[in-house]
Chain A
């Protein structure tokens, strides 16, 4: 499998990454290698293995519906790049 350049730029756009032309080519090759490895894994016969998304063995790891403590507002906003009073501030969102 060969990954196309526009697939790389598409994924970069989704991840909000601005890549230079050289970077697109460099990541294209790296991702290609990763995908080739996955292709190899795909060849393993798994017809007798149940499909699963996890192998940790845990199921129904839930908690009771009890309120716990929250962060003080000052702490919650401590890493905000911008804030306005007790809100996070972001560039204008026009819907």
Chain B
């Protein structure tokens, strides 16, 4: 018996090792036999001041526990919810940005279930008459255009938050509830099962988040859960049009987690199917530390929600004028902006995509260009040094001490030849957080480029006189010896000379 166990254990270990070392090829192998079918459900909190059905503050993160509550969001008897007009407008705005239709008639329904984070015993949501239907999102993955249908965008309320408290020493087993988040407007975007790879799923999410942030309805924070995603995934034989048994995956709080969880599921399901087993229809949670999805014991009848029309909320009749007004106020979408930057400023598709990833970067780019900085120069600074500093300091340019205006005047000093590139980089590093006027810093500290021809010639001659060996090497054909001489001049000017001019002068002198 013990022997058999050991043998089984060894087989298990071997399997685990193989999985760890050949995970990529295993995924590829599975995907050669089985076609993944993926659909995503995204929830996004709307950036309103107040909650969906009451006037409590929607800012639940910065408030002490249970301080943003009232009879409506606590679900006390006799309360009457009243819908937030801005939340409706934000949902319609999002739906239009996702090419959805807005039916004239919509309504709210009650979704009934018991859970401690849901004080009323039901969630106000939308069932058969949502605010919008039939949209789509198109994007490119590995050069291939992907079009993912959007089934619907509807509006509901968020739940409270549960913490699993308890003193381990006392083995206290209880959870605590904070209802500050209960009733925060929550938009649900249901995607069609049109995605075929984890990479497509990830790109869909990246694009969706970008759009919602651009149009100002959501802050796009996956970590804090203001933008969250559940995935449905099944496998089928290539060529089949029916759908396999789907598994719902939850608890993914980064783009990377979504991709990894889907890759894990494809391998897991593919292996089961290869062995002739069936897939259990269930909900699984992604466990980051294990790099695996784990079955979440689903309660019996958990999906028997008994939706019925919310009697406390009169229906919505959104007129064509209402929808037209929201459409007219729709800001420029990321894709449109990227195309415009290419057209108006001659940027490459790569630069345009890079600069429009975050709305603030695109704004900074346009401001720099408006201030007279050439487009390519502005793009290089923003995507290079500025992006690096923003990442390292975790402070965006607009919030830094230097700010947009400071950056513009710094770049102009380089463009005018007053300072060289390396001096500018040093100044940027120094002033990014501290702030200050770059032009004044250059004046006060004598950082201006040495451009006096006579002065440069004098320095070049001095360096030639001091380095006979390097001069002999260069004249003997060793081209790299020239760099030693250039370095000598740069050192003498404390880096303030134009290296190109110095090189030219040295060649001239050594040739004669």
Which residues of A does B touch, CB under 8 Å? 10, 13-14, 16, 52-54, 56, 58-71, 73, 76-77, 82, 84-93, 95
Contact = CB atoms under 8 A, between A and B. Distances in A.
Given A70-B68, A89-B174, A95 B296 contact: yes
B296 A90 contact: no
Contacts of A77: 66
Contacts of B74: 71, 76
A19 to B, nearest CB: 16
Interface string B311-344: 1011111100000000000000000000000000
12 contacts: A54-B315, A59-B314, A59-B316, A64-B85, A67-B57, A70-B67, A71-B74, A76-B74, A77-B66, A86-B66, A93-B116, A95-B285
B467 interface: no
B265 to A, nearest CB: 19
B8 interface: no
Contact of B48 (A61, A65, A86): A65
A32 to B, nearest CB: 19
Describe B's contact surface by its main secondary structure. loop
Interface string B294-309: 0010000100101001
B306 A14 contact: yes
A27 to B, nearest CB: 17
Interface in B77-129: 82-88, 107, 112, 114-116
A69 to B, nearest CB: 7
B98 to A, nearest CB: 22
B294 to A, nearest CB: 10
Contacts of B301: 10, 13-14
A23 to B, nearest CB: 20
Interface in B136-186: 162-166, 173-179
Contacts of B85: 62-65
Nearest to A61: B314
A90 B69 contact: no
Interface residues of B, number: 53
A73 B63 CA distance: 11
A70 B164 contact: no
Nearest to B109: A53
Nearest to B76: A79
Contacts of A70: 56-57, 67-70
B50 interface: yes
Contacts of B65: 73, 85-87
A36 to B, nearest CB: 20
B380 interface: no
B56 A68 contact: yes
A87 B55 contact: no
A70 B182 CA distance: 13
Nearest to B69: A76
Contacts of A60: 314, 316-318
